[in-house]
Chain A
Amino acid sequence: MVQTLSASCYSGSPVVSAARLTILHVDMDAFYASIEQRDRPELRGLPVIVAGSPEQRGVVSAASYEARVFGVHSAMPTAQARRLCPHGVFLPGRMKHYARIGRQIREILLQFTPLVEPLSLDEAFLDIHGCERLFGDAVAIGRQIKERIKTETGLIASVGIAPNKFLAKLASDLSKPDGFLVVHPQEVQAFLAPLPISRLWGVGARGEKRLHALGLHTVGQLAVLPESVLLHHFGESGQHLWRLAQGLDSRTVTPDRDARSISTETTFPLDLDEREILRTCLLDLVDQLGTRLRHEAMRARTVELKLRSADFKTRSRSLTLAEPTDVTEELWQAAVALFERHVQGDILPLRLLGVGATNLVREQLVQGDLFEGERREKQAKLDRTIDAIRARLGRDAIQRGSLLDSPDG
């Protein structure tokens, strides 16, 4: 077993200096709730709240803009949403239906560029460089995408266009609902400067407090400081903040197909310190990861756990397996071993939990096992069955037993 420790930080060359306007962030407005309002005209204009059944997780997965007026937002406990908006229309959600529409939207995006990185059913990054000759520049492509999603699905997407991912996502977030915002390379500083520092990716409630304590309230105030000051106060994450405040982000748009790693993560609305709940979230993430690996016909040699604590310090811990795998159970064993070893004590509470598969291999032959052959074959069969059901009926059509039952399943 090989264990590596790597601090998460941004490396690579600054993007802005040679920046071009090629990154799009497409994000559906109140996706699930909007689908319900589209399908049932009588719900239009009403506060619609799609929420997981209280027995399961009991959190809001989508709230229409009418409901948001009452303070309801996604990831809020259903009980709280009921208190805030007692007259709201609470719906259990039809995941297979939403998934189908999500795929329809994905297809539209893929017609403009192969470089589509889905973040979830209703959100994706696109890199359109090299596609301008066919469809026009980024702004023209953004307009076409918004228009086509509207005519083909009847739903509204907000689109952010910028030189990098961080700015593109910020642009779509800030322009919602029915947004369309372009951040040109020469406007980056002016765009960022007045924003509150909480808009910087990775700054949560506690980080905000610490920054406020230093007299920093806007991105502009932070951006003019020398990098060393932030490094001094916040270590590597300070450096990361400084780069973001300059509008720098060197992450590339990576479709799963070319990925050297596949990962999935979840940010909690509140910092979470209950290990049992975190474990359940982890199982859900590993479950998604397995499905994506198998979908891309790749196997992972290394499983990586990503942890961001309340002080927004991000850590990765990884475990290299004896043999690469795409079996959910084997991914889970590795992930939970990392979890048990590293998620404790001072790292809690967590604001983000993620799991990734790295060192991916495409080799299709699998090393046989003298003792576990049958068991593994059974698990692989189970995975294939679950994948097939989900492909037809949507992700929540079937769940791992332990996700529904107790956290230690």
Chain B
Amino acid sequence: MKAFCHREGLLAACQLASAAIPSRDVKPILKNIKAIADQGRCTLMATDLELGIRLDVLGLTIQEPGEAILPAQRLLAILREAQENDLNLEADSSSCVVRGQGMEFEMPSDDPSHFPDIPTFNEDKYHEIAGSTLREMIRRTVFATADESTRYSMTGVLWELDGDTIKLVATDGRRLALAQGTAKAHGDHTTRGQTPVVPTKAMQLLERNLQDDGQTIRVCLRPNEVLFRTELAVIYSRLVEGRFPDYRAVFPKKQGIKVTLPVGPFQAAVRQAAIMTDDDSKRVTFSFGNDRLTLLAQGQTAGRSKVEMPVTYDGKKVDINFNPSFLIEMLRVLPPDAELTLDLIDGATPALFRSGSNYSYLVMPLT
């Protein structure tokens, strides 16, 4: 293949695609990006065999169609370091050459037919979701996934698609985030009766592909895999194996006390109090009463902190201990001028934070 390309456009596309490149050595060819230039369109492909992406590149003029293997790491470095904006890319199964004014890079290549194929999106059963809605839902949930392999079934986000509702749920067993939105079903696509969990890495890659507002995303969930179609990309991923826990069962059934908290000031107070936590004691005591929230922290060696903020609550005094990181991570993804409601039963049961009608966040206290 042979093409004129716009440096920044190709760099952005390669960066997006390279997120699917395996970090460990699975198979040497997977350290590359495969390019297919055909009928005026250029598609980049990358995969770690669990996750794959095909991504259309804009701003590329194809002179000679064809397929090629591009060494990802070196190509990215060239695209980052080059000064000029117009580059010439020429590649076949033996070499990959990038030329610009006064520079030329030649890298060894590989046979493109050795690169594993990544599915295209040819589905008639799928859900459609507005890109901006999905992006926000992902941001509000993905941070709560488990990253330890002992909780393998929680290392991704649970998708529930049914009728015109989409729900994303993520948990690591200590806190749980649930975001809800509207979607449109085509061909009776539904996840009813299944618990498909999309790996965290795939969710992050999807989010990075949702930067342009105004696009509509298609998603099709199959028993062991998922396909997403954005404006420029198709993302394929295998699903997380294992049983996602029954998240509905852990939402409190009883009515407790209710406190309204402004996101910005609450986040500031938690961050301030958390200064005095340390590795040995990751806890802040939240004390509600007398129209005041008092946050107390005491590290083993750090010292202690006391931070107060006014709240509207005058009932029986309630104390609850949280790992402040679990609150800060949630508060960070909400708009600072939004409001949160907190439902609390006592210091030993999960506390429920809600923002609007579409976002719930449960946190287990330290007891």
Give the shortest distance, in Å, between A305 (CB) and chain B (any CB).
15
A312-371 contacts to B (CB < 8 Å) = 321-323, 333-334, 337, 359, 361-363, 365-371
Which among A337, A361, A363 has the highest number of chain B CB atoms within 10 Å? A363
B279: contacting residue among A361, A369, A370, CB under 8 A: A361
A258 at the interface (CB under 8 A from B): no
- Residues in chain B near residue A363, CB distance under 8 A: 280-283, 300
B226-257 contacts to A (CB < 8 Å) = 245-246, 250
5 contacts between A and B (CB under 8 A): A337-B150, A367-B366, A368-B350, A370-B174, A371-B173
A372 at the interface (CB under 8 A from B): yes
A333–B281 CA distance with the chains assembled, in angstroms: 24
B321 at the interface (CB under 8 A from A): yes
B147 at the interface (CB under 8 A from A): yes
B3 at the interface (CB under 8 A from A): no
Which B residues fall within an 8 A CB radius of A?
146-151, 171-176, 245-246, 250, 279-283, 300, 321, 323, 348, 350, 362, 364-367
Do residues B149 and A1 form an inter-chain contact, with CB atoms below 8 A? yes
- Residues in chain B near residue A365, CB distance under 8 A: 283, 321, 366-367
Q: Which 9 A-B pairs have the closest CB atoms?
A: A368-B364, A365-B366, A1-B148, A371-B245, A370-B250, A363-B281, A361-B280, A322-B148, A369-B173
- Residues in chain B near residue A321, CB distance under 8 A: 148, 150
A260–B41 CA distance with the chains assembled, in angstroms: 60
**Chain A residue with minimal CB distance to B300?**
A362
Which A residues fall within an 8 A CB radius of B?
1, 301, 321-323, 333-334, 337, 359, 361-363, 365-373
A333: contacting residue among B150, B172, B364, CB under 8 A: B150
- Residues in chain A near residue B362, CB distance under 8 A: 370
Do residues A368 and B149 form an inter-chain contact, with CB atoms below 8 A? no
Give the shortest distance, in Å, between B319 (CB) and chain A (any CB).
12
A368: contacting residue among B245, B282, B300, B367, CB under 8 A: B367
- Residues in chain A near residue B149, CB distance under 8 A: 1, 337
Give the shortest distance, in Å, between B281 (CB) and chain A (any CB).
5
Do residues B150 and A367 form an inter-chain contact, with CB atoms below 8 A? no
Give the shortest distance, in Å, between A351 (CB) and chain B (any CB).
29
Do residues B323 and A370 form an inter-chain contact, with CB atoms below 8 A? no
Do residues B146 and A322 form an inter-chain contact, with CB atoms below 8 A? yes
Do residues B280 and A367 form an inter-chain contact, with CB atoms below 8 A? no
A363–B300 CA distance with the chains assembled, in angstroms: 8
A371–B174 CA distance with the chains assembled, in angstroms: 8
Do residues A366 and B173 form an inter-chain contact, with CB atoms below 8 A? no
- Residues in chain B near residue A301, CB distance under 8 A: 279
Q: Given contacts A1-B150, A362-B280, A363-B283, is CB(A369)–CB(B321) below 8 Å?
A: no
Give the shortest distance, in Å, between A320 (CB) and chain B (any CB).
8
A337–B175 CA distance with the chains assembled, in angstroms: 24
Q: Given contacts A322-B172, A322-B174, is CB(A367)–CB(B148) below 8 Å?
A: no
Do residues B147 and A366 form an inter-chain contact, with CB atoms below 8 A? no
A373–B365 CA distance with the chains assembled, in angstroms: 12
Give the shortest distance, in Å, between A338 (CB) and chain B (any CB).
11
Do residues A372 and B173 form an inter-chain contact, with CB atoms below 8 A? yes
Apart from A363-B282, A367-B323, list 7 A-B contacts with CB within 8 A.
Answer: A1-B149, A322-B146, A359-B279, A361-B280, A367-B174, A370-B173, A372-B173
Which among A359, A363, A370 has the highest number of chain B CB atoms within 10 Å? A370
- Residues in chain B near residue A373, CB distance under 8 A: 364
Give the shortest distance, in Å, between B275 (CB) and chain A (any CB).
17
Give the shortest distance, in Å, between A369 (CB) and chain B (any CB).
5
Give the shortest distance, in Å, between B245 (CB) and chain A (any CB).
4
Q: Given contacts A323-B174, A362-B280, A365-B321, is CB(A1)–CB(B300) below 8 Å?
A: no
A367–B320 CA distance with the chains assembled, in angstroms: 12
Do residues B151 and A366 form an inter-chain contact, with CB atoms below 8 A? no
Do residues B151 and A322 form an inter-chain contact, with CB atoms below 8 A? yes
Give the shortest distance, in Å, between A147 (CB) and chain B (any CB).
42
- Residues in chain A near residue B172, CB distance under 8 A: 322
A373–B364 CA distance with the chains assembled, in angstroms: 10
B364: contacting residue among A322, A337, A367, CB under 8 A: A367
Do residues A368 and B365 form an inter-chain contact, with CB atoms below 8 A? yes
- Residues in chain B near residue A334, CB distance under 8 A: 150
Give the shortest distance, in Å, between A211 (CB) and chain B (any CB).
36
**Chain A residue with minimal CB distance to B326?**
A367
- Residues in chain A near residue B348, CB distance under 8 A: 368
A365–B319 CA distance with the chains assembled, in angstroms: 14
Give the shortest distance, in Å, between B308 (CB) and chain A (any CB).
22
- Residues in chain B near residue A359, CB distance under 8 A: 279
**Chain A residue with minimal CB distance to B175?**
A370
A333–B151 CA distance with the chains assembled, in angstroms: 11
- Residues in chain A near residue B321, CB distance under 8 A: 365
- Residues in chain B near residue A322, CB distance under 8 A: 146, 148, 150-151, 172-174
A370–B349 CA distance with the chains assembled, in angstroms: 9
Do residues B150 and A369 form an inter-chain contact, with CB atoms below 8 A? no
- Residues in chain A near residue B150, CB distance under 8 A: 1, 321-322, 333-334, 337
- Residues in chain B near residue A370, CB distance under 8 A: 171, 173-176, 245, 250, 350, 362, 364
Give the shortest distance, in Å, between B28 (CB) and chain A (any CB).
22
Give the shortest distance, in Å, between A134 (CB) and chain B (any CB).
31
- Residues in chain A near residue B280, CB distance under 8 A: 361-363
A370–B248 CA distance with the chains assembled, in angstroms: 11
A1–B151 CA distance with the chains assembled, in angstroms: 10
Give the shortest distance, in Å, between A161 (CB) and chain B (any CB).
36
A367–B367 CA distance with the chains assembled, in angstroms: 6
Which among B148, B171, B367 has the highest number of chain A CB atoms within 10 Å? B148
Give the shortest distance, in Å, between B296 (CB) and chain A (any CB).
13
A363–B176 CA distance with the chains assembled, in angstroms: 24
**Chain A residue with minimal CB distance to B322?**
A367
**Chain A residue with minimal CB distance to B277?**
A363
A365–B250 CA distance with the chains assembled, in angstroms: 21
